[in-house]
Amino acid sequence: MTEQGTSRRRFFTGAAGLGVAAGVGVGVGVATGYGIRAATEANAASTDPGSTGAASTDPDAQANAIVPFYGARQAGIVTPQQERLMFAAFDVSTTDVEELKRMLGRWAAMAARMTQGKQVSDSPTKPAQPPFDTGEAMDLGAHSLTITVGFGPSLFDDRFGLADRMPPELTAFGTIPGDAVMRAELSDGDLCVQACADDPQVVFHAIRNLARAARGTATLRWSQLGFGRASSTGSQQVTPRNLMGFKDGTRNVRADDTATLDAHVWVGANGASLAPEHEWMRGGSYLVARKIRMEIESWDTDPLEDQEKIFARFKDTGAPLTGGDEFTAPDYAKLGDNGQPVIDIDAHIRLASPEQNNGLTILRRGYNYTDGQDPATGKLAAGLFFIAYQRDPQTQFKVLQTRLGKSDLLNEYIAHIGGGLWGCPPGVSAPGDWFGKSLFT
Ligand SMILES: C=CC1=C(C)c2cc3[nH]c(cc4nc(cc5[nH]c(cc1n2)c(C)c5CCC(=O)O)C(CCC(=O)O)=C4C)c(C)c3C=C
Ligand SMILES: [Fe+2]
């Protein structure tokens, strides 16, 4: 064994041990590594940048903006959408449930610190040790970082004794319309982590350090960077544009619309009954992700009137083709001079709207992405990393995507190539609590 090899192993063994103290709360008072002091401090001073999501023009204020980590619900779901995303799916490599619990504890303690703009540990690094934190976010500030963790259906197989804890809502969809070219290497995973912030290096740093602290317990399966938001969740947020050039997120659910969130997004809201073995999801939400590649070169040859027919919205203003401004409700009954509906029967917004789906509503939180170009074709490999949160994906996303996948005019220009389904448990309440603790007790 080389000296380097020995010290590397000692570092990661030590980190795992410290995780017990930090996250699982086994009454150890020593604060080093990813330690207790870290988590307690992180709970102390939080400045909420505001729930409306109105963009700050002061660069220092934006850099220093902190979204509280501890709370009844995980941040990063209704939080006004930040500009950058790194999403990662992990496979658990251990079969020891205690190791998995310790890792989730480490993640919570680290997330508590990182979302405050702090390094993952405040312990001094000995010169002969690798630093606890990888360092690239050291001077950047929190930039409204949120870290949201979810559990995939595969976590509930026979490895950890969780099979009877899996809610039926988390059942994998199988192949539904639009899924014909989904790629296994870009799909699923026992765990997912969604890191959102207003700085690209901050989100990368978060995922990198969580992946590092997972070594020996979980491995990165796939990941995705998103470079700009393609939806709005804050009540004051300007609607951004997707890579097809259309305003996206106009009719999304907003953070201050608590009645809609309780009805469609939060599990067990309004005292809804849950089976005792599925109580661990109360206050959580189900995340569906889809990596949707756009056929950008073809889209760019499509005439404006056809592009607008597909979304049934004007490209410049975002207003529906039936008139008004961006936020005017579309009139699905309106007929044109030719006697045909102004909003095509297969237009994306008609097929997706609550009005045409018995009120079906999801919270969208997607990001524009690019992976550069496809080496085989030279075409841009880019599109929408679609994320949606909901109370029951079986009756929400699955139903909606089944409808869209069959006849959406948009299908000519998109392909779903990856993604997955995860149950995001309620928030981490305080130091000593951790992601999904009640699932394991
Ligand atoms: C299964 C759910 C959805 C998928 C997948 C999806 C993909 C997708 N959407 C756009 C662009 C737009 N979508 C818009 C509205 C919209 N989309 C969905 C659902 C899915 N979209 C919903 C529920 C809605 C709201 C419908 C309504 O209430 O009217 C819009 C219009 C503006 C807006 O309201 O956000 C655009 C534009 C792309 C490009 C895409 C896949 C690449
Ligand atoms: Fe859409």
Domain boundaries, the chain: 61-120+132-439
Whole-number Å distance, alpha carbon 349 to ligand 2 midpoint, is 7
pLDDT at 5: 34
Closest CA relative to residue 289, chosen from 155, 435, 189, 175: 189
Would you state the structure tokens that stand for residue 149, as one six-digit string? Answer: 């963790």
- 380 ligand 1 Cβ < 6 A: no
Whole-number Å distance, alpha carbon 348 to ligand 2 midpoint, is 7
In degrees rounded to 5, what are phi and psi of residue 174?
Answer: 70, -160
Average pLDDT per 10 consecutive residues for the chain, totaling 441 residues: 35 36 29 34 35 76 96 98 98 98 98 98 93 97 98 98 98 96 98 98 98 98 98 94 98 96 97 97 98 98 98 98 98 97 98 97 98 96 98 98 98 98 98 97 89
Cβ neighbours, 10 Å, residue 328: 13
Under a CB-based contact definition with an 8 Å cutoff, are residues 109 and 19 in contact? yes
Angle between helices 3-19 and 97-114 (to 10 degrees): 90
Asked if this assembly's ipTM is beyond 0.90, the reply is yes
- 315 ligand 1 Cβ < 6 A: no
Q: Tell me which amino acid residue 252 is.
A: N
pLDDT at 57: 78
pLDDT at 51: 57
Q: How far apart are CA 157 and CA 18, in angstroms?
A: 28
- 193 ligand 1 Cβ < 6 A: no
Under a CB-based contact definition with an 8 Å cutoff, are residues 112 and 43 in contact? yes
Q: How far apart are CA 78 and CA 82, in angstroms?
A: 11
Whole-number Å distance, alpha carbon 207 to ligand 2 midpoint, is 27
Whole-number Å distance, alpha carbon 348 to ligand 1 midpoint, is 7
Closest CA relative to residue 306, chosen from 349, 339, 347, 335: 347
Three-class SS of residue 159?
coil
Longest CA span, the chain? 81
